[in-house]
Structure 1
Amino acid sequence: MTDTIDLSGVFPAMCTPFDEDEQIDFETLRTDAQRLEEAGVDGLVPVGSTGESATLTHDEHVEVVEAVIDAVDDVPVIAGSGSNNTREALELSERSADAGADGLLLISPYYNKPEQRGFVEHYERIADAVDLPQIVYNVPSRTGQNIEPDTAVELASHENIAGYKAASGDLGQIGEIAERTTDEEFAVLSGDDALTLPTISVGGTGTISVSANIEPERTCAMVGAALEGDYDRARQLHHELGPLFRTLFIETNPIPVKEAMEIRGYGPARMRSPMTRLSAENRDVLEDVLADLEDEPTAVADAEASP
């Protein structure tokens, strides 16, 4: 591998904004990337699940990656490039690399539910062909199949497989993978905001985060405190963010986060079918949570005020 990325810290899983004709709103996308960079995030992850990659064409996918790369100055861009079709994932990965992506996030093949040896062959084929750091993404609730710890550990030995995004909800499994890859240059990243702090406590290095789209400063402060071993401050920030963590998954991601983006003035809440807008009842809940975050004194401010 010719280049590496420091896969520690906060990497927002970016939304893809759409205009009234359901076309990509590139101006808003670029502005949002710049907002997140200025907030202090450690990298950006466009066109993942939160970026509605499932409803983008391949050309649109690459255009979003290019737009985010062009918008930012000094943070790595990790492009979602996974598919349940290995050849399609390889094509998206190659095109993302050609566009200038610094790394790749590859969701595990979904729907067709490969065996564990199929996961190994899938990821190794892409890692052999594309010379970029790659993150294996395990989210069984969406894909229907779990990447087992033995499989993750085997993949960690490949020089281009640099990390694992953990969204299984199984902290024991996450901790086992972190424990067994200690001797590898391999990062374990939370893929579940509510488990970011526990994941770091068992050896994780950070998070690919939905909530960081809305509260990047707080999320960065929480993760930074945890990585520095300041668990009192990290826990305080985790509790401040807890209602947001829960509410952003009150309906299927990215429905709530796009609504939150609109409430905060960061971008439109429009979705491409078959995704729908957040229900009126749940929008009321979300508005209350966002208002409370704006009103509540934060450990971020407390730390900045300390001598």
Structure 2
Amino acid sequence: MTQELFSGVFPAMVTPFADDESIDHEQLRADAQRLEAAGVDGLVPVGSTGESATLTHDEHVEVVETVVDAVEDVPVIAGTGSNNTREALELSERAADAGADALLLISPYYNKPEQRGLVEHFRTIADAIDLPQIVYNVPSRTGRNIEPDTAVELARHENIAGFKAASGDLNQVSEIVERTREEDFAVLSGDDGLTLPMLSVGATGGISVVANVEPERTCAMVGAALSGDFGRARELHHELGPLMRALFTETNPIPVKEAMHIRGHCQPTLRSPLTRLSEEYRVELANLLDDLDEQRAASPAEVEG
């Protein structure tokens, strides 16, 4: 059940802002529908890419409500993590009430709990809320790695259904996949550049930044890998490689918002302390997107897989 629910491509959505930095709900709705029409397998609003750190709790819930209302056929996985267990629990409860199908919970950041504290944190939320929950490991943002032993222990909880891996450590990902094969538990890539290698060792998909900009290619790549066509998946991985790297020249979501702006999907507005992508990178990004558009125009069927 979980393997099917969390199989494929799940864009980590941006939160579009108007010039005055208010949330542009009309654009958010349009973006959710664009991604669903492109064939993604679910949507992940209000994560790190969605600038959740600068949203109020009410805005957070409003974004979830808009995305839930916008789509027809794909699950909505709401980012509801915090470094405060009570706050994460409250956000999770409100997202569940707003209609989220599942939750994405980043590990507590800044206060750097011990592994036993991580287990207690995630179990507290999983005990209270009967929705599938994905534990999100991104040590570069949180300052603390979720160790494989901890991930395996958490996988035993019936509501902890997956693990988003963004540590950059393929050995760790492989170990977690290996040790949870008997559980109803999905491992998802949280690093676009490593999605294909992770799929090769048993991950079931990815929560993706690049899928905001190139959803069809990303879905084709992941779909090819999941069906065993790693030759085709590798071709698409290399087609997307320059864009994957360009989307992390500065802190996410700065570059992806610029890419979305170039493609006409949102304003490049971010909330402080994030700033617009540096001019030196904008030209390179625009050129990469032009190249991908030309490839699509030349061979649309191949791009869509």
CA–CA separation in structure 1 for the residues paired with 2:299 and 2:47? 30
Where do residues 28-47 of structure 1 align in structure 2 (5 Å cutoff)?
28-47=27-46
Q: SS of 2:171's equivalent?
A: helix
Deviation at 1:302, TM superposition (A): 3.0
Q: Secondary structure at the match of 2:277?
A: coil
Is 1:107 aligned with 2:109? no
Q: What's 2:58 paired with?
A: 59
Structure 2 unaligned blocks of 5 or more:
none
Q: CA deviation at 1:233?
A: 0.3
C-alpha distance in 1 between matches for 2:301 and 2:248: 27
Instruction: Give identity over the alignment, percent.
Output: 76
What does the per-residue CA deviation read over 1:148-200, in whole Å, with 9 as the maximum and x for residues that have no partner? 00000000000000000000000000010001000000000000000000000
Seen in structure 2, the aligned counterparts of structure 1 residues 70 and 304 have a Cα distance that, compared at 3 Å, is closer
Letter paired with 2:128: A
TM-score (normalizing by structure 2):
0.97
Please name the residue that 1:278 is paired with: 277
The answer as to whether partners of 1:218 and 1:300 remain within 8 angstroms in 2 is no
Offset, 1:61: 0.1
Shift of the 70–303 alpha-carbon distance from structure 1 to 2, 3 Å rule, reads closer
1:255 corresponds in structure 2 to: 254
1:1-307 aligned within 5 A: 6-296=5-295, 301-302=301-302
Residue 106 of structure 1 aligns to a residue whose secondary structure is strand
How far 1:19 sits from its partner (Å)?
0.5
**In 2, distance between residues paired with 1:48 and 1:142?**
12
Measured in 1, the distance between the counterparts of 2:69 and 2:146 equals 34
- The answer for unaligned runs of 5 or more in structure 1 is none
CA distance in 2, matches of 1:100, 1:4: 21
Aligned length: 304
The CA distance in 2 between the partners of 1:250 and 1:301, in whole Å, is 30
Secondary structure at the aligned position of 1:262 is classed as: helix
Q: What does the per-residue CA deviation read over 1:30-53, in whole Å, with 9 as the maximum and x for residues that have no partner?
A: 000000000000000000000000
Deviation at 1:285, TM superposition (A): 1.1
Which residue identity lines up with residue 94 of structure 1 in the other structure? E
Distance 1:299 1:175, change over 3 A: farther
8 A Cα contact 1:237 1:299, kept in partner: no
Give the letter aligned to residue 122 of structure 1.
Answer: H
Distance 1:257 1:87 in 2: 31
Residues 181, 259 of structure 1: alpha-carbon distance in 2 compared, 3 angstrom cutoff? same
User: 2:173 is aligned with what amino acid?
Assistant: I
CA distance in 2, matches of 1:299, 1:181: 40
Q: In 2 relative to 1, CA 231–63 (structure 1 residues): closer, same or farther, beyond 3 Å?
A: same
Q: Measure how far apart 1:303 and its partner are.
A: 7.7
SS state at 1:296 partner = helix
Q: 1:107 to 1:134 in 2, by over 3 A?
A: same
Moved more, 179-188 or 293-302: 293-302
Contact conserved, 2:43 with 2:76, CA < 8 A, in 1? yes
SS in 2 for 1:162: strand
The letter of the residue matching 1:92 is: L
In the superposition, the TM-score normalised over structure 1's length comes to 0.97
Alignment deviations for residues 105-133 of structure 1 (CA, whole Å, 9 cap, x no partner): 00000000000000000000000000000
